[in-house]
Amino acid sequence: MKLSIFNGSPKLGINNTGILLESFITGFQETPDNEVEMIRMNNEQSYKDAAIRFEAAEAVLIAFPLYSYAMPAGVKTFLEQLEPLLGKCTGKKVGFLVQFGFVEAIHARGLEKYLEHLTKALDCDYEGIIIKGGCDGISRNKKGAKKILMGAYEIGKTYGIEKVFNKEQLDKYSAPEIQKKQNPFVMKILFRLINKLYWEKSFKKNGVTYESSFARPYEN
């Protein structure tokens, strides 16, 4: 099977989407004869080129980070290029991978509905969506993200063998849906730790103090 993978991270260099995809692809290619075509989209010309590759592809995985609860603007530019293909992609398989910073899957559920609707409007077969939160740091700390990457590998492997996503596997991977079951007190302490150990450290590295990080340059 040949899978065309579109990476829509707007970053110029290394990106979390790409790292997650690497693991997925390793799993996918465990099955002999599985082939991957990678399409990177992060500038105007690449969205146009990607639309041509999309039209020619048999099976597609569109991967990107969640930006303000939806696709990044650039990925929307790509989708707008597909307008002439509405209703004309009969038989094309299309799946998605959406990863993001917040931990809970619920952040991407609105978008999921949209992507499914769009896929059907193109008359593609909707394969499903891999949703994974908590991915902010994976390109900086691959070791710390071992579980996340292993999960992507397993999903790729299953997809490579069965040629369809396993819904149960995807749901398990996306959990938790929300944090209701967690103790809010524990969560607050955890966030304080992340703020202190991660964000404050990043400020410092850039010569920004705790106070100046709260700057309000456009206050009225």
Partner 1 sequence: MRILILNGNPKADYVEFDSYIEDLKQSLEYKSHKVKNIMLRNLQLHDCIGCYTCWLKTPGVCCFNDGIEDILKEYLAADVVILSSPIIMYYVSALLKRVNDRLLPLGHPFLVLRDHRMSHVQRYNRYPKTTLLLDNQKEFDRESFQLIELVYKKSVRGLAKIWSTKQNVEEITDEVVNI
Closest approach of partner 1 to the CB of residue 201, in Å: 10
**Interface with partner 1 by CB under 8 A: which range of 28-36, 63-71, 87-95, 142-150?**
63-71
User: HSE (CB half, 13 Å, CA atoms) of 201?
Assistant: 7
- CA atoms of 189 and 206, how far apart (whole Å): 25
Q: Applying CB under 6 A, does 17 fall inside the site for ligand FMN?
A: yes
Residue by residue, DSSP assigns 41-83 as --SHHHHHHHHHHHHH-SEEEEEEE-BTTB--HHHHHHHHHTG
Choose among partner 1, ligand FMN, none what residue 66 binds, the Cβ cut-off being 5 to 8 Å by kind: ligand FMN
- CA atoms of 201 and 210, how far apart (whole Å): 10
User: Amino acid identity of 195?
Assistant: N
Task: Select from 141, 147, 195, 197 the one that contacts partner 1 (CB under 8 A).
Answer: 195
Choose among ligand FMN, partner 1, none what residue 99 binds, the Cβ cut-off being 5 to 8 Å by kind: ligand FMN
Strand intervals (E) in the chain: 2-7, 35-40, 59-65, 93-99, 125-132
Given the rule CB under 8 A, which residues bind partner 1? Answer: 9-12, 15, 42, 65, 67-74, 76-77, 79-80, 82-83, 101-104, 106-107, 109-111, 113-114, 117-118, 121, 178-180, 184, 187-188, 191, 194-195, 199, 202-203, 205-206, 208, 212-220
- Using CB under 6 A, list all residues that contact ligand FMN: 9, 11, 15-17, 65-69, 99-102, 107, 135-136, 139
